[in-house]
Structure 1
Amino acid sequence: MAVAVNLVVPLKRLTAAKSRLAERAGSGELRSALALAMAMDTVAAALATPAVRRVLVAAADPTELGALRELGAEVVFDGGESGLNAGLRHVARQVRAEDPDCVVGALQADLPALRPDDLAAAIAASGARRAFCADRAGTGTTLLLSAPAGELDPHFGPGSARAHTESGAAPVELTVPTLRADVDTPDDLAHVQLLGVGEHTRAALQTRTRAC
């Protein structure tokens, strides 16, 4: 039976997003716009993935994310707890209460080159186990999936790939380049542009170029 996933996409306040991109993204306003655009392209790709049933954006301030609702995502409060993992656990509990036997996933919001076929391949490769996809450096995590009816148990942060392995999650052993390409640094941003970013990120980068 095919696995259907309810994906939670955590998104910090836009004013605090992507500070390490200051050199490439410009002012705080432009960085916020770029962070939102990358989240929009990530969410759009997730919504276009047949194995994904729901996409819930976990936000500290859901009111600033109307653009993501327009795409079809559910924008929900992350519980106001400190840290990404606490917010993910909060929303995962809500999802599990509504659908006890489902697979819950956590997908990073900064995957602007994400393609639905890469995400679908990773979900299929999980084999209904708790599993994760590491970033292209092999140290971080871009996607974490629970087993059906199982706990998500997120351990995002520095060294999360190792932490997820040690907590019993199976690594996804596929190339899936667009799923591994999150954006934290100017080098990451250059890399995703080579892969080909989505329309929202492309427009935000063009706006940044005109502003310079």
Structure 2
Amino acid sequence: MSADPRAARCVVVVPVKPPTYGKSRLSGLPDDQRRDLAEAFALDTVQAATATPGVDAVLVVTDDHRLAASVRTLGCEVIPDGVSNDLNATLVQAAAEVARRWPGAVPVVLCADLPGVRPVELAGVLGEVHDQVAAGRVAFVRDHTGRGTTLYAAPADAFDPSFGVASATRHEAAGAVEVGTTATSVRTDVDDPDDLGAALLAGVGPHTTRASEGRATHSG
């Protein structure tokens, strides 16, 4: 991980459900392939984050021990899920951990289902985040559907994420500023088979490429 002196110091926080439970909307796939894909999405997401200029560290929040071991080999820090079944409360705890371990760094939540995220695009978004957070504002990236959120960042005293259904609307209504409108790879999360097909066409990381072998031929 390298630092860009023009950008804010950022710690990227990636919450990851245990792959056994993740990506339930990838219907039509065998359970083992769905689990493998969920894990691959997370690995590609965090690997891209570790390669992004301006990122001091990547903190993965998960209760999955196998995944924890895998992301540590990629250079990530890991903490357990703090509040089961409450993502936003877990993220608030993770942000507090960022403040403790990396004083002065901006906690940036990045969803774990961005297998095609490109470090150069993520770095550009972090530059926009820096401008907003330096002005005391909250920033978010809207997903490709326009409804969800793939990235959220805020000053420590304003860190109050609202992930879940229609999160983009809630973040915007709370005064968060949308950034990354042209950062396609940062907006392209994968929730269902159509999303996966589109992501494969646009290009994904090595873990998702391997996990999806044999599927691309019938992805529609």
TM-score, normalised to structure 2's length?
A: 0.88
**C-alpha separation between the residues in 2 aligned to 1:173 and 1:16?**
29
Query: What's the counterpart of residue 60 of structure 1?
Result: 63
The yes-or-no answer on 1:168 pairing with 2:205 is no
Moved over 4 A (4+): 207-210
Per the alignment, residue 18 of structure 2 pairs with: 13
* Partners of 1:62 and 1:75 within 8 A in 2: no
- C-alpha distance 192-98 of structure 1, shift in aligned 2 (>3 A): same
> Where does residue 28 of structure 1 map in the other structure?
31
Note the aligned Cα RMSD (angstroms). Answer: 1.8
Aligned partner letter, 1:152:
F
In the TM superposition, what are the counterparts of 1:30-49 in structure 2 within 5 Å?
30-49=33-52
Q: How far apart are residue 81 of structure 1 and its match?
A: 3.1
Counterpart for residue 7 of structure 2: 2
Residue pairs, 1:147-162, within 5 angstroms: 147=155, 149-162=156-169
Separation in structure 2 between the aligned mates of residue 179 and residue 173 of structure 1, nearest angstrom: 7
In structure 2, C-alpha distance between the alignment counterparts of 1:125 and 1:9, rounded to whole Å: 19
Residues 35 and 173 of structure 1: CA distance in aligned 2, closer, same or farther (over 3 Å)? closer
Q: CA contact under 8 A between 1:113 and 1:196: conserved in structure 2?
A: yes
1:69 aligns with 2:72: yes
CA pair 64-118 structure 1, distance change in 2 beyond 3 A: closer
Q: How does 1:75-86 map to 2 (within 5 A)?
A: 75-86=78-89
Does the 8 Å CA contact 1:62/1:76 hold for their aligned counterparts?
Answer: no
Deviation per CA, 1:143-163: give whole Å up to 9, x if none: 00113x443211000111111
Alpha-carbon distance between aligned partners in 2 of 1:125 and 1:90, rounded to the nearest angstrom: 24
Match of 1:190 in 2: 197
Q: Distance in 2 between matches of 1:80 and 1:69?
A: 22
Q: Is the 8 A contact 1:51 1:120 kept in 2?
A: yes
Match of 2:10, as an amino acid?
Answer: V
Scaled by the length of structure 1, the TM-score of the pair is 0.91
Aligned sequence identity (%): 43
Unaligned stretches of 5+ in structure 1? Answer: none
> In the aligned structure 2, how far is the partner of 1:93 from the partner of 1:17?
25
Instruction: For 1:154, give the aligned amino acid.
Output: P
Cα pair distance change 1:102/1:151, threshold 3 Å: farther
- Structure 2 alignment gaps of length 5 or more: 1-5
* Offset of residue 173 of structure 1: 5.0
